[in-house]
Structure 1
Amino acid sequence: MKVRGFTLIELLVVVVLVGLIGGLVAPSAQRLYERHRRHLELDRMSDFLAGAPSAAYLGGRELTLRAEGARLALQPDGPTLQLAGPWRLEVEGELRYWSNGATAGGTLHADHDGTVFRLQQQPGNGTVTIDEAG
């Protein structure tokens, strides 16, 4: 009678191959995950900027965007946004939102581990565009 099944050597070869493939795939999966997290945070910043004119209008007062480390705040006493991860934010000039819901526009620079993104808010309606600055 012939016994069917796998030998110990065959099973060890399969385990080694699976380990090698996993070792090759894991780093690229980690990079993909980090890139996805970065884009999620960029979307959160864009949404925050796009909603700032409405916050000024609904509050009936002028608001100014301030960046402190990885935190954005509409001052005085407006909403805030805390970002996850190693972000450094800097507002170029001043981003101001008037009580009528308009803005003069401006630029926010967002540095994430050496990759700099530029979020530009257009005057008037406050449309936000994102591009990689370098």
Structure 2
Amino acid sequence: MSPKDSQRKRAFTLVELLLVLLIAGMFFGLILPQGVRYYERYRGALEAEKLLLFLSEKRREAFLAGRDFEVYSENGTLYLSDRSSYFPKEGSIELKRNFYFLATGTTDGGEVKYHYKGYTYVIEIEAPLAEFRMRIE
């Protein structure tokens, strides 16, 4: 075998390279959209958890301050009667109805929906002891 023949056998042919590119393209074409959807769902859940922590903190603050806080929403932003607000970076917030965190550490209960890129995260605040639950619709 001449040195020229051994060099030819070590290299990939154009067909082999194109086949690898085709397989890689199909792989990324199928996997990448799923990955983006999972990432968007994760980002939405992360923001919904921040909202849940904000609400939990405000419930505690109402108890410690000995004041009732009304929770309401306008134009996709969550507001409390103590003039604090929660404005998500992306998405919007809606309430079924206004509810209260009472000075006694209890609540009349409510439901907060956070909408983010096609996903809806629901935070349920159960009366009377303000137990928080989050789910995705």
Shared fold, TM over 0.5 = yes
Residues 94-105 of structure 1 mapped to structure 2, 5 A cutoff = 94-105=98-109
Q: Are residue 39 (structure 1) and residue 45 (structure 2) matched?
A: yes
Equivalence for 2:31 = 25
Secondary structure in 2 matching 1:85? coil
Structure 1 position 65, deviation (Å): 0.8
Is residue 117–residue 131 contact of structure 1 (8 Å, CA) maintained in 2? yes
Structure 1 position 43, deviation (Å): 1.6
Structure 1 residue ranges without an equivalent (≥5): none
Equivalence for 1:85 = 90
What CA RMSD, in Å, does the superposition of the two structures yield over aligned residues?
2.3
Structure having the higher Rg: 2
Is residue 72–residue 97 contact of structure 2 (8 Å, CA) maintained in 1? no
Secondary structure in 2 matching 1:36? helix
Structure 1 position 132, deviation (Å): 4.4
Equivalence for 1:54 = 60
Equivalence for 1:73 = 79
Match of 2:123 among 119, 123, 129: 119
Structure 1 position 38, deviation (Å): 1.9
Matches of 1:104 and 1:111 in 2, distance apart? 23
Identity %, equivalent residues: 26
Q: After superposition, what is the alpha-carbon deviation per residue over 1:50-71, rounded to whole angstroms, capped at 9, x for unaligned?
A: 2221121233322111212332
Structure 1 position 40, deviation (Å): 1.5
The structure with more helix, counted as a fraction of residues: 2
Is residue 77–residue 88 contact of structure 2 (8 Å, CA) maintained in 1? yes
Q: After superposition, what is the alpha-carbon deviation per residue over 1:71-111, rounded to whole angstroms, capped at 9, x for unaligned?
A: 21222323x22223232x33233211122322222222334
Match of 1:109 among 113, 116, 119: 113
Is residue 73–residue 95 contact of structure 2 (8 Å, CA) maintained in 1? yes
Amino acid at match of 1:125: L
